[in-house]
């Protein structure tokens, strides 16, 4: 079987998802997990976009071992130089450069002729080659480009030294059969195509990103660009877990194998969802909470007789635990550690101690602490944001008729405590007003959502919020059996990130606000 290379762009295209914004520490943590997952390439960011992005790519290139680390660059000298600046101390690095090839983009956006685009692409691949041997080139909006011009462009950049040529369906326009034909025609018409790996990068505007990618694989593409949970610009990118599990489940069709450790899929999905604040829909293939749940009686009956009657994948293969071990208030540290280990989380003593305190609090209120509860606890604990402000006390009174009123005490960065009282439209609003009086940062609450981690009246509530501060967005989350407490924790988590962020406004680039550059 041929090897299919997995190029993960969660930290670059995924981070361009509306509302997603990751701190450098969060990006680093995701990169470490992507390395455990076994991806071949991590696209760590777009170094020219902002000093923060450059620093994040640099840290990942220097410290994350295993995958190749790529940095994105437009076909511009300053972009290529910034990408190299970020990557130069890494062991195993790639510059990924791109320029549009469609007439729609060239005429209306870049006001450039095809010849100018061709010349610029070749010059920039040559420039990147002066720095590094591994260079990827992408003709942006390839699927709406003239196919003959595309062949010409690909031949020229391969001649200049590109080792991977990526075919982006930038606007999610193409259909699977057409895309397969395009990849087959590229193999037929680009004379030197054997010198490069053909890659594909599909967006999901019409819900076909994964199908398009797989059709390209059937026609000879050997690198797929994808993201965890399919997050990304607009409707997102092809979902890594779906492509990997499709090729694993149907090897007789696709004839390729990836280097992915599928048992890490669920954990990676959960981490990305927690840190980006982008919740995975329950019916999402492979990683949704219903992906392995069987409701219909006839299905349950079949499964009890033989799993293969209604399951084409084993939940354990994607890292979902089948453990029946239930933890409760009598469980000790050892049992908790053992359970985390079983779930693939190796905690330091300090992390275990913190998780244990949370576990006991929850076990006091809830009879059984499930895997999902444990993951919610962990998600709180893995937030590496310095907790400048912490909830010391929270009391609300509300009801009908009543004026919702909250009294909140916060521990301040200098160790003091301050208490404020506020009223609001509801208990959450009242708590947030009281917190805002104390923290006093100019932020706007842009999104608030609450979900129950498991079923049952005593379930943990998990709250996710997004706040805006100037040009920047910060996501916060918190979990607690009391949803008002979970709400306060989530708000403070986001405020603590805003307080810790560098104060200067991000620069503007010609493609948008730096750090949020959309390509
Ligand atoms: O969608 C796109 O065209 C891209 C390129 C930069 C590969 O993200
Ligand atoms: Zn893209």
- Averaged pLDDT for residues 80-93: 98
Domain residue limits at 109: 2-276
Say yes or no to pLDDT of 29 above 70: yes
CB of 127 shorter than 6 A to ligand 1: no
Span 178-192, average pLDDT:
98
Q: Is residue 285 a contact partner of residue 313, using CB atoms and an 8 Å limit?
A: no
pLDDT in tens, 434-488: 999 999 999 999 999 898 887 777 788 889 999 998 888 888 989 998 999 999 9
Q: Whose CA is closest to atom 6 on ligand 1?
A: 519
Q: How far is the CA of 410 from the centre of ligand 1 (A)?
A: 44
How close is the Cα of 168 to the center of ligand 2, in Å? Answer: 7
Give the model's pLDDT for residue 514: 36
Q: How far is the CA of 9 from the centre of ligand 1 (A)?
A: 10
Does residue 83 have a pLDDT over 60?
yes
258 lines ligand 1 (CB under 6 A): no
Domain boundary among 276, 296, 313: 276
Ligand at minimal distance from the CA of 226 is 2
pLDDT of 276 over the 80 cut: yes
CA 169 / ligand 2 centre spacing (Å)? 8
Q: What total number of domains does the chain contain?
A: 3
pLDDT of 508 > 80? The answer is no
- What CATH number should be reported for the domain holding residue 493? 3.30.160.270
416 & 354 share domain: no
Tell me, yes or no, whether 373 and 228 share the same domain. Answer: no
Q: Which of the listed residues 138, 203, 233 should we mutate to test ligand 1's pocket, taking the one with most ligand atoms within 8 A of CB?
A: 138
Same domain, 357 and 244: no
Helices (H), 250-365: 251-254, 265-276, 297-305, 333-342, 349-365
- For the CA of 9, the closest atom of ligand 1 is 8
* Residues 137, 254 within the same domain: yes
What confidence score (pLDDT) does residue 515 get? 37
What's residue 323's pLDDT?
58
Give domain status of residue 296, yes or no: no
Q: Supply the pLDDT for residue 510.
A: 39
Please report the atom of ligand 1 found closest to the CA of residue 12: 8
Q: Which ligand is nearest to the CA of 74?
A: 1
The pLDDT score that the predictor gives to residue 325 is 60
Residues 396, 373, single domain; the answer is no
Q: Is 138 in the pocket of ligand 1 (CB under 6 A)?
A: yes
Q: Is the CB of 172 under 6 A from ligand 1?
A: no
DSSP 348: -
Q: Alpha-carbon distance 376 to 408, whole Å?
A: 24
pTM equals: 0.86
Distance 140 CA to ligand 1 centre (A): 6
Let me know: does 114 contact 106? Beta carbons within 8 Å. yes
The H-or-E segment that residue 163 falls in is: none
Cβ atoms of 87 and 61 within 8 Å: the answer is: yes
CB 202 within 8 A of CB 209: yes
Which residue has the least CA distance to atom 1 on ligand 1?
A: 170
Within a domain: 300? no
Task: Give yes or no: residues 479 and 367 share one domain.
Answer: no
The stretch 318-341 carries a mean pLDDT of: 80
Regarding the beta carbon of 429 and ligand 1, being less than 6 Å apart is answered no
Same domain, 377 and 399: no
| Contacting residues for 349 by C-beta, under 8 A, at least 6 apart | none
- CA gap 304, 80 in Å, rounded: 57
Please work out whether the CB of residue 170 comes within 6 Å of at least one atom of ligand 1: yes
Residues 169 and 215: beta-carbon distance below 8 Å: no
Q: Which atom of ligand 1 sits closest to the CA of residue 138? A: 7
With respect to residue 306, please indicate whether it lies within any of the assigned structural domains: no
**227 Cα to the center of ligand 2, angstroms:** 10
Tell me the average pLDDT across 129-147.
98
Please indicate, yes or no, if residue 285 is contained in any of the structural domains.
no
Q: Is the CB of 13 under 6 A from ligand 1?
A: yes
pLDDT over 50 at 504, yes or no: no
Domain-located, residue 442: yes
* Residues 271 and 337 occupy one common structural domain: no
Cα→Cα distances 11→165, 398, 486, Å: 20, 42, 27
Confidence label for 157 from pLDDT (cuts 50, 70 and 90): very high
**Per-residue pLDDT averaged across 255-281, rounded?**
95
Which atom of ligand 1 approaches the CA of 141 most closely? 3
Can you tell me the distance from the alpha carbon of 63 to that of 75, in angstroms, rounded to the nearest whole number?
A: 27
10 lines ligand 1 (CB under 6 A): no
Whether residue 162 lies inside any domain: the answer is yes
Whether the pLDDT of residue 247 is over 80: the answer is: yes
Q: Is 98 in the pocket of ligand 1 (CB under 6 A)?
A: yes
Q: Are residues 377 and 396 in the same domain?
A: no
Q: What is the pLDDT of residues 220-241, one digit of tens each?
A: 999 999 999 999 999 999 999 9
Spell out a b/e string for 380-401, using b for 16 or more CB atoms within 10 Å of the CB, else e. Answer: bbbbebeebbebeebebebeee
Q: Is the pLDDT of residue 15 over 50?
A: yes
**Does residue 209 lie within any of the structural domains?**
yes
The reply to whether 410 and 358 lie within a common domain is no
Dihedral sign, Cα of residue 477, residue 481, residue 483, residue 488: negative
Asked whether residue 315 is domain-assigned, the answer is no
pLDDT at position 17, please? 86
**188 and 79 share a domain?**
yes
Length of the chain (residues): 519
pLDDT at residue 78 in the model: 98
Q: Are residues 151 and 258 in the same domain?
A: yes
Closest Cα to atom 8 of ligand 1: 519
Name which residue leads in pLDDT, 412 or 451: 412
Instruction: Look at residue 358 in the predicted model and tell me its pLDDT.
Output: 87
Residue 407 CA, distance from chain mean position: 36
The CATH number of residue 39's host domain is 3.20.20.70
Residue 507 above 60 pLDDT? no
Mean of per-residue pLDDT scores for the chain? 91
Q: Rounded to an integer, what distance in angstroms lies between the CA atom of residue 159 and that of residue 137? A: 12
């Amino acid at each position: 079987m041929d090897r299919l290379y997995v190029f993960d762009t969660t930290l670059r295209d995924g981070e361009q998802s509306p509302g997603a914004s990751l701190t450098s520490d969060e990006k680093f943590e995701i990169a470490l997990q992507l390395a455990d997952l076994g991806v071949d390439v991590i696209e760590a960011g777009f170094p020219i976009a902002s000093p923060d992005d450059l620093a994040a790519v640099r840290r990942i290139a220097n410290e994350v071992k295993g995958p190749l680390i790529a940095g994105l660059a437009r076909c511009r000298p300053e972009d290529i130089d910034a990408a190299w600046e970020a990557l130069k101390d890494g062991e195993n690095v790639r510059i990924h450069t791109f320029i549009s090839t469609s007439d729609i983009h060239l005429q209306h956006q870049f006001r450039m002729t095809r010849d100018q685009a061709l010349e610029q692409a070749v010059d920039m691949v040559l420039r990147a080659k002066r720095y590094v041997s591994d260079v990827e080139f992408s003709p942006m909006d390839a699927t709406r480009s003239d196919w003959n011009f595309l062949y010409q462009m690909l031949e020229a950049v391969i001649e200049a030294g590109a080792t991977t040529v990526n075919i982006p369906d930038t606007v999610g326009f193409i259909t699977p059969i057409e895309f397969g034909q395009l990849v087959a025609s590229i193999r037929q018409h680009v004379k030197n195509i054997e010198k490069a790996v053909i890659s594909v990068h599909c967006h999901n505007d019409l819900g076909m990103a994964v199908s398009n990618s797989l059709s390209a694989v059937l026609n000879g593409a050997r690198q797929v660009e994808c993201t965890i949970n399919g997050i990304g610009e607009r409707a997102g990118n092809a979902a890594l877990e779906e492509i990997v599990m499709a090729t694993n489940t149907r090897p007789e069709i696709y004839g390729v194998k990836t280097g992915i450790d599928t048992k890490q899929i669920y954990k990676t999905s959960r981490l990305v969802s927690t840190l980006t604040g982008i919740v995975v829909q329950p019916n999402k293939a492979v990683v949704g909470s219903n992906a392995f749940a069987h409701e219909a009686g006839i299905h349950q009956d079949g499964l009890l007789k033989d799993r293969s009657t209604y399951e084409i994948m084993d939940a354990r293969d994607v890292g979902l635990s089948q453990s029946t071990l239930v933890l409760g208030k009598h469980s000790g540290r050892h049992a908790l550690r053992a359970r985390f280990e079983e779930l693939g989380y190796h905690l330091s003593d300090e992390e275990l101690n913190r998780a244990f305190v949370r576990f006991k609090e929850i076990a006091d209120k809830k009879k059984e602490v499930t895997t999902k509860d444990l993951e919610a606890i962990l998600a709180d604990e893995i937030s590496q944001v310095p907790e400048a402000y912490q909830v010391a006390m929270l009391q609300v009174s509300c009801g009908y008729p009543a004026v919702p009123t909250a009294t909140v005490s916060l521990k301040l960065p200098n160790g003091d405590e301050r208490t404020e009282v506020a009223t609001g439209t509801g208990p959450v609003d009242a708590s947030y007003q009281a917190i805002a009086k104390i923290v006093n940062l100019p932020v706007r609450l842009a999104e608030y959502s609450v979900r129950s981690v498991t079923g049952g009246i005593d379930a943990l509530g998990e709250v996710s919020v997004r706040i805006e501060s100037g040009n920047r967005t910060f996501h916060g989350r918190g979990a607690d059996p009391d949803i008002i407490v979970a709400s306060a924790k989530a708000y403070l988590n986001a405020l603590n990130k805003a307080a810790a962020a560098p104060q200067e406004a991000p620069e503007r680039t010609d493609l948008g606000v730096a750090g949020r550059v959309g390509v």
